Amino acid sequence: MRPSAASRRRAELLLLPAINLAGALVLSALVVLAAGADPFGAMAVLAMGAAGDPASLGYTLYYATNFIFTGLAVAIPFHAGLFNIGGEGQAYIGGLLASLACLLLGPRLGVAAIPLAIAGAALGGALWALVPAWLRVTRGSHVVITTIMFNFIASGVMTFLLINVLIAPNQSAPETVAFPEATWMPGIGSMLGPSPINLAFPLALLLALATWVFLWRTRWGFAIRAAGANAEAARAAGISVGRSIVLAMTLGGALAGLVAVNELMGAQHRLLLDFSSGYGFMGIAVAMMGRNHPAGICLAALFFGALYQGGTELSFDMPQVTRDIVVVIEGLAILFCGALENLFRGRIARWLGQEFET
Amino acid sequence: MSDGLVDLLSILAATLRLATPLVLAALGGLFSERSGVIDIGLEGKMLGSAFAAASVAAVTQSAWLGLAAGIACSTALALLHAYAAVTQRGNQVVTGMALNILVAGLAPVLATAWFGQDGGTPNLPPDARFAALTLPGTAALSDVPVLGAIYVRLLGGYNGFVYGAALAIPLTTLALRSSRFGLRLRAVGENPQAVETAGISVASLRYRALLLTGFFCGLAGAYLSIAAGAGFTRNMTAGRGYLALAALIFGRWQPVPTALACLLFAFADAVETRLQGTPLPLVGVVPVELISTIPYLLTVMLLAGLVGTARAPRMLGVPYGRDR
């Protein structure tokens, strides 16, 4: 029986990321070998560290929450044909507004400040993405470059604010006072042992689902995908490409901003220097590996959350392999799943075609 | 000699030292970008070179072997970049980002494994580094007022890399403007079809452009770890690759304006370091963290057309294939 084109496509959709990921992992294993450690042993330590006991699993899901947010933040603009590298800065500014809401409104409103702080996180991220989007639409500025620049601008502004304005009194570390306890995101890890997993995790899953509905089941999502696929054709069909770009970027920025909900309101309970460092870039790896589909992004985020958590164990058990191996795998995943995505595609398509036909 | 002059000279000298890696990396990026390949991977190439140079210099105790290793590593990364971006026609931005992240992880992993230090190489003794050059007549002139100070403090006392970077600016200008390779390079970034029609391979031109990028980033990285510094430390480039990219855009993809942009950014950096914590009359303590964002703000403003206009190479970022 000949399979339909759709089922072949579906097979390719699953097989291709798996093979690309395998390529990245094989190379990572070689790096571990070059570092003088046993790759299989390292993998076992990673896996045990990520899910060996309930608390580790809680940490894995907690990290995955950040990566779902930043992965979606890359994916939505990607569907509009834009590359948002600004997740780091968007999360940072989101953290600023969320923290201000917690610190200023928390004492008065109590728990009621939480939704406002969540809105603040989204608003901060959205604003930090809105400027590059708006410059792209009105002045044609390249979003890749402007979002990179905005990461550095956010970093400078936040360092300034934390050192000079927001720093807790009589303290040398550049961080604010603790948020009022009422504004902490409720933990959901009681059955998972002591871990910082909190309500931001189900929120991330919910928003991943909402992103899917938005992109594939609403006309705004359709407009975004049409603008990304072929701006000329979309324009000819009466779609406002500019509006789609602004919408996709601000939604992406808002999602990146929500990292603050998990990281600051859920775990650190204060605003601190460089809290978003690395999470924004990880979103690129997550989006590439998840092929910019919300379901794929959740899986990829889980994978990298496990790596992130397992990497901590790894550096305890095998001192010659540092945590940075996670960054190596991240880089290789972007390389294989993003930059070299065509490397295996032709071969797989041919192989799938023949396999199904015989 | 007045303190003011010494202050000024030391700020200017610091500017030249800080500008050197920026100029080298930005000129490297210029070749890549003029050929039509976006290079946000300058940071990774520099970092790779800094690590390889310091590692080899630490093992062999030879600065020259270190430099060779730095250039080799950066060039290898450039080749990988070219393979993904040109041969595989992958997304160029994704490729550059992948390189940056890969090297940011790889360097500390290997440094820790090989040297047993946290993400860095051992401190290099003076023999394994490039020392500052002493210009002829330094001793004789150092007592001459003003002119002597300018000669000794502003023109002399640098590493060879600093003079090399200065020399690279006219050489790049000349190569781009007057050589056959330069003409083709500019053409391939604007209209690759025309170049291909003339019987010249677009892919080979872009590969050669990226090799040059690798070479220059190799110099920039080696300068950081075995000339200006004494060994590799984690994330040693600290965003200089992105700053060089900003300078390249701010310099509108032209060698001399790009180098001037690097000098401007380096000057801001030197002044910032100088002003750290010292209150100025009228202004008070200068917020150095905010000053450091100026280069990025300027670049955004330029891209927005608020301070002049920047026209990128027309085919920048567009993979080329004959079927298009």
pLDDT at B15 (0 to 100): 93
ipTM score for this prediction? 0.89
A334 and B101: CB-CB below 8 Å?
yes
Domain ranges, ordered by start, for chain B: 3-303
pLDDT at B156 (0 to 100): 77
pLDDT at A85 (0 to 100): 93
Residue A207 burial (10 A CB sphere; 0-12, 13-18, 19+): buried
- The Cβ of residue A153 has, within 10 Å, a number of other Cβ atoms equal to 26
Q: 3-class SS at B1?
A: coil
Q: Is B106 near chain A, with CB under 8 Å?
A: yes
Spatial separation of the C-alpha atoms in residues A244 and A252, rounded to whole Å: 12
Residue A66 has pLDDT above 80, yes or no: yes
Instruction: Provide mean pLDDT across the span A325-338.
Output: 90
Q: In degrees rounded to 5, what are phi and psi of residue A274?
A: 60, 30
A331 and B90: CB-CB below 8 Å?
no
Spatial separation of the C-alpha atoms in residues B140 and B37, rounded to whole Å: 50
pLDDT at B271 (0 to 100): 85
Q: pLDDT per residue over A148-195, tens digit each?
A: 999 999 999 999 999 989 999 888 889 999 999 999 999 987 777 788
B94 and A284: CB-CB below 8 Å?
yes
Give the count of domains, chain A: 1
- Domain range enclosing A141: 59-297
pLDDT at B310 (0 to 100): 67
Q: Is B100 near chain A, with CB under 8 Å?
A: yes
Q: pLDDT per residue over A91-134, tens digit each?
A: 999 999 999 999 999 999 999 999 999 999 999 999 999 999 99
Residue A59 has pLDDT above 60, yes or no: yes
B94 and A83: CB-CB below 8 Å?
yes
Residue B312 makes CB contacts below 8 A (sequence gap 6+) with: A142, B33, B249, B253
DSSP state of A186: P
pLDDT at B324 (0 to 100): 45
Q: In degrees rounded to 5, what are phi and psi of residue B119?
A: 75, 10
A145 and B91: CB-CB below 8 Å?
no
Matching residue, tokens 């004494």: B230
| Nearest beta carbon to residue A149 from set B84, B88, B296 | B296
* Closest C-alpha to B195, from B208, B183, B212: B183
A153 and B300: CB-CB below 8 Å?
yes
Counted across chains A and B, CB pairs separated by less than 8 A come out at: 154
Q: Which helix (H) or strand (E) holds B164?
A: helix B160-178
Helix axis angle, A54-79 relative to A39-51, nearest 10°?
Answer: 100
DSSP-derived secondary structure for B77-118: HHHHHHIIIIIS---HHHHHHHHHHHHHHHHHHHHHHHH-SS
Helix axis angle, B202-223 relative to B160-178, nearest 10°?
Answer: 160
Shortest distance, CA B13 to any CA of chain A (angstroms): 25
Using a CB-CB cut-off of 8 Å, the residues of chain B touching A152 are 239, 242, 293, 296
| pLDDT band, very low/low/confident/very high, at A209 (cuts 50, 70, 90) | very high
| Nearest beta carbon to residue B303 from set A145, A331, A334 | A145
Q: In degrees rounded to 5, what are phi and psi of residue A179?
A: -65, 150
Poorest-pLDDT segment among A318-322, B77-81, B150-154? B150-154
Q: Which residue of B has its CA nearest to A83?
A: B93
- pTM score: 0.91
Q: 3-class SS at A37?
A: coil
**What average pLDDT does chain B have?**
89
Using a CB-CB cut-off of 8 Å, the residues of chain B touching A34 are 110, 113
pLDDT at A357 (0 to 100): 43
Spatial separation of the C-alpha atoms in residues B274 and B261, rounded to whole Å: 20
Helices (H), chain A: 5-34, 39-51, 54-79, 87-100, 106-109, 113-139, 143-164, 200-217, 219-229, 231-236, 241-257, 259-260, 279-289, 294-317, 325-334, 345-357
| Nearest beta carbon to residue A335 from set B84, B89, B299 | B84
Using a CB-CB cut-off of 8 Å, the residues of chain A touching B261 are none
| Fold topology of B3-303 | ABC transporter involved in vitamin B12 uptake, BtuC (1.10.3470)
B104 and A327: CB-CB below 8 Å?
yes
Q: pLDDT per residue over A279-323, tens digit each?
A: 999 999 999 989 999 999 999 999 999 999 998 888 888 888 888
| Nearest beta carbon to residue A328 from set B100, B102, B300 | B102
Q: pLDDT > 90: what percent of chain B?
A: 56
Instruction: Provide mean pLDDT across the span B287-309.
Output: 82
Residue A140 makes CB contacts below 8 A (sequence gap 6+) with: none
A331 and B103: CB-CB below 8 Å?
yes
| Nearest beta carbon to residue A340 from set B88, B104, B304 | B88
pLDDT at A356 (0 to 100): 47
Residue A150 belongs to some domain of the structure: yes
Q: In degrees rounded to 5, what are phi and psi of residue A198?
A: -145, -175
pLDDT at B290 (0 to 100): 85
| pLDDT band, very low/low/confident/very high, at B283 (cuts 50, 70, 90) | low
CB A191 within 8 A of CB A125: no
Residue A201 belongs to some domain of the structure: yes
B101 and A157: CB-CB below 8 Å?
no
Q: Is B15 near chain A, with CB under 8 Å?
A: no
B93 and A157: CB-CB below 8 Å?
no
DSSP-derived secondary structure for B124-157: PPGGGSPPPP--TTHHHHTTSTTHHHIIIIIISS
pLDDT at A2 (0 to 100): 55
